[in-house]
Amino acid sequence: MKHYEVLFTAGAEQDMEALYNYVAEYDSPASADALLDKILHVVESLATHPERGTYPKELQSLGIREYHQIIFKPYRVIYRVINRQVVIYLIADGRRDMTSLLSMRLMSPQ
């Protein structure tokens, strides 16, 4: 079984921190811990099955097919497989304006 290294961009790390803080403040720290555990479980699963995600429809409509997504409602994890690495670019609530988020995060210089 192939094993890939999973890496987070600075933006994806900030996304996780912001989600955690939001849930901790508006729900509870226990709920925030549970959400973080779910995110990390989904992301870690990409180490062995990185190609299982679908193409984000917002990017696919532009002909961009190098990014994948894993959805665990309402959240979306956007990532790219580069050689033996899975690079996580975005972790966001899918109810947000994903077109704007994706264009800001993926189309601007890192």
Q: Model pTM greater than 0.85?
A: yes
Q: What are the tens digits of pLDDT across the range 3-34?
A: 999 999 999 999 999 999 999 999 999 999 99
Q: In the chain, which residues have pLDDT < 50? A: 110
Beta carbons of 79 and 53 less than 8 angstroms apart: yes
Beta carbons of 84 and 5 less than 8 angstroms apart: yes
Q: Please tell me the predicted confidence (pLDDT) of residue 54.
A: 93
Beta bridge partners of 78: 69, 90
